[in-house]
Structure 1
Amino acid sequence: MLALFVILAWRISKHLQHTKKFNHILKDTVEQVSFDLKLSLEKKYQLEIENMRLQERLNLSHELHDGLGGSLVRSMILVDKNEKLDKTHFLSILKLLRSDLRQIIDTGANVDMEPPATPVLWGAPLRHRFVQIFEEIDIESDWIFPEKWEQLPTTQQCLTLARVAEEALTNVIKHSHANHVAIILEENSNHQLVLTIRDNGVGFDPTTVQEGLHVGLQSMQARINRLGGEFDISSNAGETILRVIV
C-alpha cells in the first residue's frame, strides 16, 4: 500500500509538472497570438484610413472634373459666343464658378444633408445652368421631371445623378453638334430612379468608353457603379441615348 501510494504520488507530481509546463506554454502562445493580432488590427486600421483618404481624393477629383470642369467649359463657350462681354456678364460667370466650387466643398462636408424635396427642385439648378448656354448655341431642350418622389432617394443618389447629368450635358455642348436634347427623370415600377438624356447629334462609338478614350464618360460610369446602379449608352448618327438607373 505504501509503495502504491508513493507511485501514485510520483505520477500525480509528474502530471502536475506537465500541466504547469503546458500552462506556461499556453500562456506564452496566447500572449504571442494576442500581440500578432494587435499588430494585424493596427495594420488593418492604417490600411482602412489610407483607403478612405484615397477614396476621398478620388471623389474630389471626380467632383472637380464633373462639377467645376463642366462649369469652366460652359463659361468658356459663353465667353466665346459673346463678342461684347460686359463687366456685369463676366462677373456673373465668375460668381457661377464660385457657386459651383462652394457646392463641391459643401457636398464633401455635408454628406448627410437632406435630398431635394421634389424632382423639380433636384433639376432646377441643372436647368438654370444649362438653359442659358443652350439658348446661346441654338439647342432646344426639354426637361421632364415628375412632380413628386414616389420613394425619397438618398442625398448621394441625388448628387450622383446631378453630376452625371452635368457631365452628359457638357459633352452634348462640346461634341454632339445637336440642336435638341431631352433630360428625363422618372421612377420605374421597381422604385428605381431612371435618368435618360437623349440628343440628336452626330453620335460616337460607345466602345471607346471601355477603352479609356472618354474620361468624362468613365467618371460617370464609375459613379453609378459605386451606387450599384446601371449605366448604358447607345449612340448612332442622329441619336445618342444615355440612361442610368439607381
Structure 2
Amino acid sequence: MLRLLLAVFCCSMVQVAWGAAAGSRADSLQRLLTASRPDTNRVQLLIQLAWERTDDNPLKGIEYGQQGLRLARQLRFRSGECRALLMLGWAFMRTGNYATAIQTQVTARRLAQRIGYAGGVIHADNALGYAHLEQGNQQLSLRYFRRAVALAKKHHDIVLLTPILGNIGRAHLELGHPDSAWYYTWRGYELDLQQHDAHSEIGDLSILGDIEARRGHPNQARYFYQRAISRAVGMPVSYAVSRAYLGLARLARHQQPTAALRYARLALAAGQAGRYAKGVFEASDYLADIYADMGNSKEAYRYLRASAATRDSLFSQSRMTQVQALSFSEELHQQKLAEEGERAAARRWQFVLALALAGAVLTAVVGYLLISRRHLRREVEFVQERQRMERRHSKAILDAEQNERRRVGADLHDSVGQLLSAAKITLGALRRRLSLTDATHQELFGNSMDMLDEAVREVRSISHNLVPTTFTRHGLVQAVRTLLDRLRLGPCHLQIQLEVTGLQDHQLDSTLENILFRILQELIHNVTKHAQATELIVRLTCQPSELHISIIDNGVGFNPVLLKEGAGIGLRNVASRVAYLNGELAICSGEGTGTSTTLKIPLRVGPAPVLV
C-alpha cells in the first residue's frame, strides 16, 4: 500500500509540474489575448495558445484553434488559416480522433499548396504520416514522411526536417527494421541538438530507447528512457514520457516486478496528464498483464476499477471531442462548398471577361483587316510588278549573253580564223620559195605549221561552242548529240550513251532550249575536266509537264558537302539557270562511286526568280 501511495504521489507531482509549466505559459498568452484586437496578431496568439493547451487539455486546444480559424477566415489571412488547421489536426490526433485529424490536415495541405506555403505542406505531410503511424499503417506513414523530407530538403528547411526523421525511425522500428530505425532516429536526434528542439529531442530519446530494447541492449535502452524523462521536466510532452516509462516497465518486468509496476503507473499518469489516449490504454493494458502474471487478483481488480474510471473520463472527453469534430467537419464542408462557389463565380466572371475580350479582339481584327485590305492589295500588285520587271531583266540578260556569244563567235570565225588561215597560206608559200636543206629548220617550220593548224581548229571549236550551228538549225537534241560526238573523237576516250525520250513530240521555246544547252554543256564539261570517267550517260526525258535530265558518270566522285562550301563559277551558273527555270537540281556523289546529276524542269512555268 505504501508503494502504491508513493507511486500515486510521484504521478501527481509529474502532473503538477506539467500543469504548472503549461498553465504559466497559457496564462501569459491569455493575458496578451485579452488585450489584443481582432487582427492577424490575435490569430497568431490563438494558434500559439492552442498549441500550448494541446498536450494538457486537447479540448481547450481545439476550442482556441477554432476561434483562430474563424478569425483568420474573416480577415482572409490565408497563412494564419493554414496554421490554425495544422494545429487543429494535431489536437484531434491527441484525443485519438484520427479520422477528423486526417481530414483537417488534408484541408490544411491543399490550402498550403494553393497559397504557396511550403512549410505548411511539409508540416501537413508529417502530421498525416504520424496519424497513420498511430493507427498502425506504417507503410503509408513512410510515404508521407518521405514526401515531407524531400520537400524540406528542397527548401533547406532544417527546422521542419528535424522532427520528421525520428518519426521515420519509429515507423521502421514498428516494421521490424531496427537498423534503419536507429539510422533515421539518430540523425533526427543530432539535428534536435543542433536546432535546440527539446520537444523533438525528448521524443527521439524515447524512440532510441525502444530501438535498443528491441536490439537486446537493456542498459542502453534504460539510459535513453531516463534521459527522455529527465529532459521532459516542465515540458508538455506526455506522449513521449508515457512511452519512456512504459519502456522502463517492460525492461524491469521479469527481474524487478515492483519497479515494473511503478514505471507502468507513471506511464499511465503521464498519459492521463496529457490526455494521451493511446498512452493511457497501453499503460492500463500493461498493468493488467503484470497483475495477472503476479496472481494478485485483488490488487488487479482494484487497479482495473481505477483504470476503468480513468477510461470513462477519457471516453467522456472523447465523446465531447467527437461532437466538436462533427461540428468542425461540417464547418470544413461548408467552407469547402463556399470556396467551390467562389471558384465557380470566379470562373463565370473570367468566362464573361474572356468573351468580352474576344469580342473586342475580333472587332479590332475585322477593323484592321478592312483598313489594311487596300494596303495589302497594293503591296501584292507591287510585288507582282517587281517580279515582272525582274523577269524582263533576266530575259534581257540572257538575250544579251546569247547575242554576245554570237558576236564573239562570229568575230573569232570571220576575223581571227581568217587571219590564221591567211598566215598558214603565206607560210606555205614561203616554204615553197625557200629551199630549206637544214633538217632543223625544216622541223621548226613544220612545228610552226602544226601550231597554226591547231590554232585554226581551236578557234573554230570555240566559235562553234559559243554559237553551235547545229543548235541554231536543228534544235536542242541535235546540238547535244553533236557535242557528245566531238567528245567521242577527243582525247578523253569516253564511252558515251545518249537517251532521248519524248522530245520529238514537244516544241520547246528557243530561250528554254538555249538555257538547257548551256546547262548541259557546263555539266558535260565538268565530267571531262574533273571526273576521270570512262563512261558517260546523258538522258533527256520529256513528260507532258516536266523535262527530266540525267547526267551519270563512273568517275572518281567527290564529297557534296565540300562542293557546297566551295562551288565553282560553272556550277553556280548552272544552279542560277535552273532556279530561273523554276527547276530542281540534285547532285548525288561519293568518293570513288561516280556522280549522278538530275534536273527537273517544268515546261509550264510561272514567274521565276531572278537569274544572277
Q: Which TM-score tier does this pair reach, normalised by the shorter chain?
A: 0.5 to 0.7
Given the alignment, which residue of 139, 142, 152 partners 2:497?
A: 142
For 1:217, which of 553, 571, 574 is the aligned residue? 571
Quote the sequence identity (%): 21
1:154-209 superposed Cα distances (whole Å, 9 cap, x missing partner): 11221122111111111111111111111111113x43111110000111122344
Q: Deviations over 1:59-111 (max 9, x none)?
A: 739x97xxx9xxxxxxxxxxxxxxx893434312211212334x29x9xxxxx
* 1:174 is the counterpart of 2:525: no
TM superposition shift of 1:235: 0.5
Q: Does 1:60 pair with 2:401? A: yes
Other-structure match for 1:152: 507
- Correspondence 1:74-223 to 2 at 5 A: 86=450, 87-101=452-466, 103=467, 116=474, 120-133=477-490, 136-146=491-501, 148-188=503-543, 190-223=544-577
Q: How many residues align?
A: 170
Q: Does structure 2 conserve the Cα–Cα contact (< 8 Å) formed by 1:120 and 1:146?
A: no
Contact residue 126 and residue 162 of structure 1 kept, 8 A: no
Q: 1:228 to 1:53 in 2, by over 3 A?
A: closer
Q: CA deviation at 1:116?
A: 4.4
For residue 345 of structure 2, what is the aligned residue in structure 1?
none
**Could you list the per-position Cα deviations for residues 117-161 of structure 1 after superposition, in whole angstroms to 9, with x for gaps in the alignment?**
5x642423322442322xx12221112223743322211221122
The code of the aligned residue for 1:198 comes to I
CA, structure 1 residues 224+148, in 2 after alignment: closer, same or farther (shift >3 Å)? closer
8 Å CA contact 1:197–1:242 kept in 2: the answer is yes
Runs of 5+ unmatched residues, structure 1: 1-43, 69-83, 107-112
Q: Give 2:569's aligned amino acid.
A: V
Q: Are the counterparts in 2 of residues 198 and 240 from structure 1 also a CA contact under 8 Å?
A: yes
| Structure 2 gaps, min length 5 | 1-384, 410-446, 602-612
Shift of residue 56, structure 1, vs aligned partner:
2.1
TM-score (norm 2): 0.25
Give the 3 Å change call, closer, same or farther, for CA 212–99 of structure 1 in structure 2. same
Q: Aligned equivalents of 2:453 and 2:580: distance in 1?
A: 41
Q: Which has the higher strand share?
A: 1
SS in 2 for 1:95: helix
Structure with more relative contact order (C-alpha pairs < 8 Å, separation 6 or more)? 1
Q: Could you say which residue in structure 1 is the equivalent of 2:167?
A: none
* Inter-partner Cα distance in structure 2 for 1:144 and 1:57: 28
Secondary structure of the corresponding residue to residue 505 of structure 2: coil
Q: Distance in 2 between matches of 1:141 and 1:53?
A: 34
Q: Distance in 1 between matches of 2:552 and 2:599?
A: 12
Check 1:216–1:59 CA distance in 2 against 1; reply closer, same or farther (3 A cut): farther
- Structure 2 distance, partners of 1:227, 1:241, is 20
SS of the residue aligned with 2:497? strand
* CA separation of 1:208 and 1:215: change in aligned 2, threshold 3 A: farther
* Structure 1 residue identity aligned to 2:484: R
Aligned CA-pair RMSD = 3.8
Are residues 130 and 114 of structure 1, via their aligned partners in 2, closer, same or farther at CA, if it must alter by over 3 Å? closer
Give the Cα–Cα distance (whole angstroms) in 2 for the partners of residues 180 and 59 of structure 1.
35
Q: 1:126 to 1:186 in 2, by over 3 A?
A: same
AA at the equivalent of 1:121: Q
Distance 1:98 1:230 in 2: 30
Distance 2:464 2:583 in 1: 29
d(CA) in 1 for partners of 2:489, 2:521: 14
The residue identity in structure 2 corresponding to 1:132 is: L
Bigger share in helix: 2
Distance 1:227 1:161 in 2: 9
- Rounded Cα–Cα distance in structure 2 between residues aligned with 1:57 and 1:146: 27
**Given residue 157 of structure 1, which amino acid in structure 2 is its aligned partner?**
L
Deviation at 1:233, TM superposition (A): 0.6
Change (3 A) 1:151 1:164: same
Amino acid at match of 1:211: E
TM-score relative to the length of structure 1: 0.56
Equivalents in 2 of 1:221, 1:215: separation in Å? Answer: 10
Question: CA separation of 1:199/1:239 partners in 2, compared to 1, >3 Å: closer, same or farther?
Answer: same
Q: Aligned partners of 1:93 and 1:115: how far apart in 2?
A: 22
Q: Computing the radius of gyration over CA atoms, which structure comes out larger, 1 or 2?
A: 2
Partner residue in 1 for 2:111: none
CA pair 156-88 structure 1, distance change in 2 beyond 3 A? same
In structure 1, how many angstroms separate the alpha carbons of the residues matched to 2:515 and 2:540? 13
- The equivalent residue for 2:593 is 238
CA contact under 8 A between 1:151 and 1:191: conserved in structure 2?
A: no
Mapped to 2, the partners of 1:129 and 1:208 lie a distance apart of 31
